Amino acid sequence: MMNLPHALAAAVLVLITQSTFADTPLRTFYEKGNWHLNATSWIGDGTRSELTGEGLLIADESTQAGSGRCYLLNWEADPPKGAALEARVKVVSCSAPWGVNMMAADGIHEEGLTLFPDHLLLPHSGLSASFNTTDGFHTYRLEVKGSDVRAYVDGRLLIDGAGRYTTPANAGRNQCSFGAAASPATGTAIWEWVRYQSEKPEGALPAKPEVPSIEGLEVKVGDTVDIIPGPTYRSLFQFRDGKLAVADRRSDDGGKTWTKGDSSLGTSAFQFEDGEIIAPGFNTTKAGDGVFEVPLSRSTDGGKTFQRETARLNIPLGTGGTGDDGKYYPGPGVDHAMVQLRDGSLLMAMYGYFTTDTVLCPAFKPEWKVYKYRTWVMRSTDRGRTWNLRATVAYDPSVGAESFCEADLLQLPGGDLLCFMRTGGEPPKYTTPLYCSRSQDDGLTWSKPEPVADRGVWPNACRMQSGVLAVTYGRPDNWLAFSLDEGKTWTGHFCFYRGATTSYNTVAEVAPGTLLVVYDRRRLGPDGNLQSGIAGTFLTVTRR
């Protein structure tokens, strides 16, 4: 039986532990196959996870570079108020620091708690305590506040690191994590549950989509539907009759349900009034000086079947070059934008290099020779069989990380054209604004591009029946913004999806006042493995 002084000491310790966060609830990071909405992961080769009867088994059995299986959550801790990570765990093995680990970073400092079979270790501060972690499940708590870090087991303080929470947070990260977090180490443990306590500082984003108050608009986020399991991004295409397509999936009810179709559409397609559809590929090949070719798919039966052709592109100063993946491409890229001009001809956006474009892009390795991009438009008068250079939309190597690329075109009722362009996309250092340029003469001349959002890869825009313009963009995360004055000003920027994604999105009005945004997402499954796929989120947008 515990004697009275020891019992009182234990009770006081528990009270002190709880009072630090008395008003902050424990929130679920992981429990019984369920993950926090914003949980992400680092999953390397030589590792595995599985859902067992006892909990989530996480095993890193490799010491090769890049091995590790760690689950992360941006918890938005406020350093003066403190934060805590708590987990119920049974350790099987751990060979080195961080092999079985809990980590707490508050944006200023960070520390981990490594669970060895016979002891606990705070790797950065070097503090340790003997403890048998393999004899069953125990509740471990890593608590940080200011410059203090403490480790508890089953409510008992085992490591007091007052004044030892001093190691700078890597890249200023503010997150907690658990799992196997070091390539040189091996480790296996079963995690019954993981919970956390933190108080997010002012200005932090909420875990769920929260639409700001928008003058003149009421926006509500609706249901999210799964469209295609497995792949990364595929574009949304809207037929003239209102039916929808995403790759080889079709929807006849505005995106509520999806079935497999006969053919697959790419990222760029256009349908004429008579129903014919053309869809060019992305990569071009050089056919001669200033002449390029691109595969073109054409359908005369409403997209059920496609015939393959080759389109000719006349770009006098066009040239190939290295892409942002380090690979050489013999010609520039066809973007995801095509509109019909007032005279019936087509206008298509492209990006890449002219022979005069030789300013290196700092976001990529210098030896790759990735240059700042140029965006231009091509015009076709023969239904996409041949294209001629119309005009450069934007090129300014002093703008953004990459200059202008990944353009989308939006045609307004009066004939004006808007061109939205990416200028960077490697967060956090190379997250640069989304820009927009306007043409009032069918693409012959363009205004100086102006920023419309603080980030924006692969933008896509639509005009609603109400006259509201919507543009989707992102990286990090997925965002929407609106314009009530035909693109002169933009408002209501909000994040509708946070998590792992390419941030390549498409938006369309699928019913009066209803938008559907299609995007890819990667979520953690119950067994700790990533599940990827294409999803669509509905929003209602009402003009006041």
Query: How would you write 387-422 as a 3-class SS string?
Result: EEEEEEEECCCCCCCCECEEEEEEECCCCCEEEEEE
Cα gap 328→237, rounded to integer Å? 29
Residue 200 confidence (pLDDT): 67
- Contact (CB, 8 A) for 85 and 115: no
Distance CA 185, CA 521 (A): 30
Environment class of 6 (CB within 10 Å of its CB; exposed 0-12, middle 13-18, buried 19+):
exposed
Long-range contacts of 292-300 (CB under 8 A, 24+ apart): 292/318, 292/331, 292/332, 293/331, 294/331, 294/334, 296/384, 296/385, 297/266, 298/384, 299/263, 300/275, 300/276
The confidence score (pLDDT) of residue 441 equals 98
Q: In this predicted model, what pLDDT tens digit does every residue of 319-351 receive, in sequence order? A: 999 988 889 999 999 999 999 999 999 999 999
Please, are residues 305 and 275 in contact by the beta-carbon 8 Å criterion? no
Q: Which residues lie below 8 Å from residue 99, measured CB to CB, with a gap of 6+?
A: 60, 93, 114, 116, 180, 181, 182, 185, 186, 187
CA–CA distance, 55 with 176 (Å, rounded to integer):
19
Residue 379: both structure tokens together = 């015009």
**Does this model's pTM top 0.85?**
no
DSSP state of 379: E
Nearest Cα to Cα of residue 155 among 132, 138, 178: 138
Per-residue confidence (pLDDT) for residue 10, from 0 to 100: 39
Are β-strands 307-314 and 386-394 bridged in parallel, bridged antiparallel, or unpaired? parallel
Give me the pLDDT at residue 5, please. 41
Burial, 103: exposed, middle or buried (Cβ in 10 Å; 0-12, 13-18, 19+)?
A: buried
User: SS3 breakdown of the chain: % helix, strand, coil, rounded to 5?
Assistant: 5, 50, 45
Residue 22 is predicted with a pLDDT of: 57
How many residues make up the chain in this entry?
544
Task: Please tell me the distance from the alpha carbon of residue 66 to that of residue 44, in angstroms, as a whole number.
Answer: 6
* pLDDT score for 201: 54
pLDDT for 3? 40
- C-alpha distance from residue 104 to each of 115, 145, 149, 168, 473 (Å): 14, 10, 9, 12, 31
d(C-alpha 97, C-alpha 103), whole Å: 12
User: From the DSSP assignment, how many helices (H) and strands (E) are in the chain?
Assistant: 1, 44
For residue 101, which amino acid is it?
A: N
Q: Where are the beta strands (DSSP E) in 201-340?
A: 217-229, 236-238, 244-246, 249-251, 259-260, 270-271, 277-280, 285-288, 291-299, 307-314, 318-319, 321-322, 328-329, 333-340
Q: What is the pLDDT of residue 7?
A: 40
Token pair belonging to 48: 């595995």
The residue type of 190 is I
Where the chain has pLDDT below 70, the residues are: 1-23, 200-208
